[in-house]
Chains A and B, each alone.
Chain A
Amino acid sequence: MSDAVASPATAAKPRRQLDRAVVRFAGDSGDGMQVTGEQFATEAAWAGADLVTLPNFPAEIRAPAGTLFGVSSYQLQFGSRRVYTPGDRLDCLVAMNPAALKVHQRDLKDGGLLIVNTAAFEKKNLDRAGYTSNPLDDPALEDRYRLHKVDITRLTMDALESVPLNVKEKERCKNFFSLGLVSWIYTRPIEPTVAWITKRFAKNPAFVEANTRALKAGYHYGETAEIFTECYGIEPAEMPPGLYRSITGNRALAWGILAAAERTKLTVVYGAYPITPASDVLHEISLHKRFGVRAIQAEDEIAAVGTIIGAAFGGAIGVCASSGPGIALKAEGVNLAVMAELPIVIFDVQRAGPSTGLPTKTEQADLLMALHGRNSESPVVVLAPMTPGDCFFVAYEAIRIAVKYMVPVIVLSDGYLASGAEPWLIPDPKTLPDIPVSFRTNPEGFAPYVRDEATLARPWVRPGTAGLEHRIGGLEKENITGNVSYDADNHDLMVRLRAEKVRRVAQEIPPTTVNGPAAGDLLVVGWGSTYGTITAAVEEVQQSGKAVASVHLRHLNPLPPDLGQILRQYERILVPEINSGQLVRILRAEYLVDAVGFNRVRGLPLSTEELREAIEQLLKEKR
């Protein structure tokens, strides 16, 4: 077997051009499916495809091998046109064991490519997956899909015969064999994976050798084995020129914080308690001590928000990330920041609930909690990124708004954005908007709650400034003086001022982008991670000549000032959400429009196909 990397051009078999493909790698949580998927995504991106990924893994760290709940998978859609979602139905499924087949088979298109590792289909694994007989022996499987039974384990072992590793270590390389095979099928370059393996296992040359060999063996197997009659090509997508990288939402959030720290030259204190799926933000932040971002792993969620309030009082930027259960615990702290009018930013990487819920699955059901889930009148700014890469810009924007208006900002990311990745046109930090910060130092006319005319922000004073010593707290404040006040009229005034301050953030919101005709039969309104699904579904319907448009909100409180006007240009309004109808309630209440919801709460992104059908159905019902 040659060690040379075969380039797509030398592949002798016929190559069919595709616009896009949806591929899923599925196996046991110990089978390395996440790495396999990530590397395939990297290969696809290197070849110039646009793509969206969907990692999906069990909440258990090491679920019992072979079980249905221990299945881990990684899906991506890549294509030569703009790709908005990880795809609904699979063109190709790689099932490394019976459990993976059982869990994922139903998502594979009829006639789709099904690659199974036959070595794993033995009695013990079949039993664990609940099969009474070997599904590979059922002719129906072969009738329905293009089934390829490959003994991936044995082929991997054979390829590694001369490598000085034990049997178990060799067997663990089989995911790279699968990756090599699928790379050949879709003519993706394996060079980036070879480079990754070399770096990843730099300390252990035998692992570099073994994984690289397994990868190449898989690639060559596709080329030479007679079972594969064709392979597929996907042209590079037309994407804006520039330097790209792959980025996940959680990393983008962390980097957005670093960018704001650099721009403001302020210290950032990041206080967090570990929680899925937000912990990666803490891990990422903790890597970058050189950026003046100080991370505290707090004793609990309440302390985490406490530390950042303390930091904000000290003139630093306070930031924390958590998920729904943790955000619920922070409510009292957020309200202290509302009352004390201090700038803090809280990321809610939403997950399926209530309670512990489905920790690793995505949901958008914390919107009403972010808006209203605290005692009394508690206005805060709420933003939501649309894509993994957008998390960078929204994190930065959240900090900019917080310090400009002296107000808490909540950012609603979710599990799908957090671990999903996309090719990201790397921005030049210099092009980001400025974040002006001025600390009050002049004692003349100073009082803790005198307000800026444009923003209504109170002055930010760093302790250590002589002559400005003052006391603030959670008791109601008299406007301007900041003295404790139980006066009825003052309380009414302060309630209104705090709300008005948040309302004025509307002046920061750019005109809303409408995707489609400026007036028509139907407007689809979304927020957060459903951007891809909604855009893909709406564009499909638009291609059939229908007067359908979409709007995606990044600002949820306050809402864009032009939104009401836009809503009135369409006959019907559809609001797809991964909750039981939260934004739709707000739109109905705020604008008195007859918006209807499209709601699926399955812990997964919405399906483009289902949404398209819902749009078409609504158009038929047009009044």
Chain B
Amino acid sequence: MSVTEAPKKYTKKDFESDQDVRWCPGCGDYAILSAIQKMMPDLGIPRENIVFISGIGCSSRFPYYMNTYGFHTIHGRAPAIATGLRLARPDLKVFVVTGDGDGLSIGGNHLLHVLRRNVNVTILLFNNRIYGLTKGQYSPTSELGKVTKSSPAGSADRPVSPCAFALGAGATFVARTVDRNVAYMEETLRRAAQHHGAAFVEILQNCNVYNDLAWNVLYDRESKIMNDLRLEHGKPLLFGPVDDRHGLVLEGATPRVVRVKDAPERALWVHDDGNTWKAHVLSQLCTPDFPIPIGILMQVEAPAYEEVLLEQERAAIAERGPGDVAKLLVSGDTWRIG
């Protein structure tokens, strides 16, 4: 990224805007906002070169609270708007803030394409498994049978896994993090922001008004022991109590939970975040049969869309010089009268 050196060392405060934050008291979004504001100085990017773009929904109010450039756009379209901005202004660092409804329902198509094109943007998807701003309808990540105002008999829709979607779309960086683990979230967000290409982070977030404790398996002191699977590159995938660690093994393409003490050490699945095949398997793991992978599922390098286009532009100019409209108008067949 071709940004100039930061003129000064920022603090979290430099990224706080003058607007009152208007999320419900107790919303998981506060923790995410705080983690991002704390992480921003580490990027070393001048504040004026940073743009937050969002769609519609509770999460999409985010740009108003960041003291950077920001654009609160329309429902689901933030990825498209960010793509146009990046192509016009490849010198800017662009974040997209979206939610499970904004990103995966109305904006599913745009999310698919920003990921497959590998546009150099950092995408933060706040997943609270509910529509909050419209007051509590089921979302595309709500579990099957979810009882809400719009599904009193239980939802009939099978949920989508955001990380599996992102991998399927061809994302080059896919991670998952949890709103209640601020330090870990900060680290994941930093690495996502530093990725070259489209980085996708699913942030498991609590809506304490319409879907309280949707991620309780990862909050509750007891249950998280068996459900929180921390991903560390080069380390075995381990979870469970200290005195009875569990791990994962792959039998062919099928994952299986094992007790570490029952398995030979070399059989344990060691996380390799450069392995796209295994990332697809990881993205499918969910409770109750498996723990939930938290961390970077995969990160690989690939050319960014806008950089390929800009390279074509540079090559065309290098070959034939910059365009000249006067010459263009008289190119091809012309004839003179009078």
Contacts and interface: CB of A to CB of B under 8 A. Distances in A.
A469 B329 contact: no
Nearest to A195: B333
A241 B335 CA distance: 10
Interface stretch (B199-207, B249-257, B315-323): B315-323
A333 B77 CA distance: 9
Contacts of A244: 334-337
B322 A427 contact: no
Given A290-B323, A464-B49, A314 B88 contact: yes
Contacts of B278: none
B74 interface: yes
Given A255-B325, A302-B77, A316 B88 contact: yes
B73 A309 contact: yes
Interface stretch (B24-32, B78-86, B153-161, B289-297): B78-86
Contacts of A316: 88-89
Interface stretch (A41-49, A158-166, A366-374, A599-607): A41-49
B212 interface: no
B112 A299 contact: yes
B70 A336 contact: no
Interface string B240-260: 000000000000000000000
B101 to A, nearest CB: 16
Interface stretch (B61-69, B124-132, B172-180): B61-69
A471 B70 contact: yes
Interface string A270-304: 01000000000000000011111010101110111
A48 B337 contact: yes
A64 interface: no
A345 to B, nearest CB: 14
Given A262-B325, A269-B87, A306-B84, A292 B313 contact: yes
Interface residues of B, number: 61
A307 interface: yes
B4 to A, nearest CB: 10
A307 B334 CA distance: 36
A271 B87 CA distance: 11
Given A243-B336, A255-B328, A426-B329, A472 B72 contact: yes
B35 interface: no
A45 to B, nearest CB: 7
A520 interface: no
Contact of B316 (A269, A289, A427, A470): A289
Among A299, A430, A466, the most chain B Cβ lie within 10 Å of the Cβ of A299
Given A310-B81, A464-B92, A294 B71 contact: no
B63 A294 contact: no
Contacts of B312: 289
A429 interface: yes
Contact of A463 (B64, B89, B313, B338): B89
B87 A241 contact: no
A78 to B, nearest CB: 14
Contacts of B195: none
A318 B84 contact: yes
Given A240-B338, A471-B71, A269 B333 contact: no
* Interface class of chain A by DSSP: mixed
Contact of B48 (A314, A318, A465): A465
B181 interface: no
A387 interface: no
B160 to A, nearest CB: 18
Contact of B85 (A314, A428, A469): A314
Interface string B91-102: 110000000000
Given A427-B329, A463-B48, A472-B72, A294 B309 contact: yes
Interface in A33-56: 42, 45-46, 48
Contact of A467 (B48, B88, B112): B48
Contacts of A29: none
Given A46-B335, A294-B309, A463-B51, A302 B89 contact: no
B63 A311 contact: no
A313 interface: yes
Contacts of A271: 84
Contact of B326 (A289, A314, A428, A462): A428
A598 B66 CA distance: 56
A467 B63 CA distance: 17
11 contacts: A255-B325, A255-B328, A269-B84, A289-B316, A292-B313, A303-B80, A306-B83, A307-B83, A313-B71, A332-B77, A426-B330
Pairs A-B, 8 closest by C-beta atoms: A241-B338, A473-B72, A306-B80, A310-B84, A307-B84, A291-B323, A471-B70, A316-B88
Interface of A: 42, 45-46, 48, 192, 196, 236, 239-246, 255, 258-259, 262, 267, 269, 271, 288-292, 294, 296, 298-300, 302-304, 306-311, 313-316, 318, 332-333, 336, 340, 426-430, 462-475, 483-484
